[in-house]
Amino acid sequence: MKLTDYIIVIPARFDSKRLSGKALIDISGKTLVEHVFLAASKSQASEIIIATDSEKIKQVTQNLDAKTVITRASHNSGTDRIAEVAEIENWKAGQIIVNLQGDCPLMPPENIDQVASLLFKNPDAGIATLATKIIDPEEINDPNVVKVDFDTNGRAISFQRKIKN
Residues of the chain with pLDDT > 70, as a percent, come to 96
Q: Is residue 69 part of a domain?
A: yes
The pair phi, psi for residue 101, each rounded to 5°, is -55, 145
Reduce the secondary structure of 62-114 to three states and give it as a string.
Answer: HCCCCEEEECCCCCCCHHHHHHHHHHHHCCCCCCEEEECCCCCCCCCHHHHHH
Encode pLDDT of 49-64 as tens digits: 999 999 999 989 888 8
Cβ distance 46 to 7 under 8 Å?
yes
The pLDDT of 66-91, averaged and rounded, is: 92
Residues 139, 116 share a domain: no
Asked, for residue 92, whether it belongs to a domain, the answer is yes
Q: What's residue 127's pLDDT?
A: 79
36 and 112 fall within a common domain: yes
Give per-residue burial for 97-122: e unless 16+ CB within 10 Å, then b: bbbbebbebebeeebbbebbbebbee
Q: Are residues 25 and 72 in the same domain?
A: yes
Do both 125 and 135 map to the same domain?
no
So what's the pLDDT on residue 22? 85
Instruction: Grade residue 115 by pLDDT with cuts at 50, 70 and 90.
Output: very high
Residue closest to 128 by CA, chosen among 105, 94, 156: 156
Are β-strands 147-150 and 96-99 bridged in parallel, bridged antiparallel, or unpaired? Answer: unpaired
Q: What is the mean pLDDT of residues 113-141?
A: 89
Over residues 89-117, the mean pLDDT reads: 92
Same-domain pairing of 97 and 146: no
pLDDT interval class at 110 (50, 70, 90) = very high
Q: How confident is the model at residue 6 (pLDDT cuts 50, 70, 90)?
A: very high
Asked if 99 and 32 sit in the same domain, the reply is yes
| Percent of the chain predicted with pLDDT > 90 | 52
Domain limits at 158?
Answer: 131-165
pLDDT of residue 165: 64
- Does one domain contain both 26 and 100? yes
122 in the same domain as 154: no
Amino acid at 119: L
CA distance 29 to 121: 39
On whether both 26 and 64 belong to a single domain, the answer is: yes
* pLDDT value of position 78: 86
> Quick check: is 1 in a domain?
no
Are the beta carbons of 51 and 84 closer than 8 angstroms? yes
| Judgement on whether residues 81 and 158 belong to the same structural domain of the protein | no
123 in any annotated domain = yes
Number of domains forming the structure of the chain? 2
Tell me the mean pLDDT in the region 10-37: 87
Say whether pLDDT at 33 is over 80. Answer: yes
